[in-house]
Amino acid sequence: MIAATKFAGKTVAVFGLGRTGLASIEALEKGGAIVWAWDDNEAATEKARSEGLPIVDLRDADFAELDSFVLSPGVPLTHPEPHWSVKKARAAGVEIIGDTEIFVRQIAGTGAKIVAITGTNGKSTTTALIGHVLNRCGLDAEIGGNIGTAVFLLNPPMPGKIYVLELSSYQLDLTPGLKADVAILMNLSPDHIDRHGSMEHYAEVKAGIFTGQDTGAMAVISVDDHWCRAIA
């Protein structure tokens, strides 16, 4: 477990009580944040309440009191229309981020590296293979993100550690501060258009994996399809 200490003292709402949401709540609380947790699913909310999680009904909450709003990647951010919680956050001027954004802020400056992989097809296999090869080479690599393990359930950062992360378009949409040391775009073909509105917007979101890279970082882009060639 990685504690989100960089959010200490901040008030953060987490919408979505699935795997990533629950891990985010634990990481934020361990890091000293004030957390408001909620889900549209009544059963999930009541289960979380019974387990002692900090349930706050976000439908009635004043978002002006928030520093950050953490949205589950499965909840619509833009299309077919923004979720009601997204509308409230935007109206209050609160940043809308995902668990991966908290993670990248937390590990910044620790000496740990990020290898980020996205694409329409093959990203899980590629993520697993890269993690396996790095470990076989004697490096300290862990895989997570959209594949298996939520990022905050990985081991804490340290110099030399490599996080190999599979990132979906939903996750990239909520991770504006990503600075991957190696970013890989496998391929692009029509997918999730209902969530992104158009193929052009879907490609733009996927290209975001490269946006924050520093000089000296590595970008790997397949050129086997029109959309990736345009990004390259």
Distance set, CA 229 to CA 186, 188, 193, 203, 226 (Å): 11, 10, 20, 11, 5
Euclidean distance between the first and final Cα of the chain, in Å? 36
Active-site positions read: 123, 146, 192
Please tell me the distance from the alpha carbon of residue 155 to that of residue 180, in angstroms, as a whole number. Answer: 18
Question: Which tokens belong to 191?
Answer: 């997918």
DSSP letter for each residue of 92-154: HT-EEE-HHHHHHHHHTTSS-EEEEEE-SSSHHHHHHHHHHHHHHTT-EEEEEESSSS-GGGS
CA distance 78 to 72: 13
- Specify burial of residue 204 (Cβ count, 10 A radius: 0-12, 13-18, 19+): middle
Say how far apart CA 48 and CA 18 lie, in whole Å.
10
Q: Which residues of 142-160 are buried (b: 16+ CB within 10 A; e: fewer)?
A: bbbbbbeebbbbbeebeee
Distance of CA 77 to the CA centre of its chain: 13
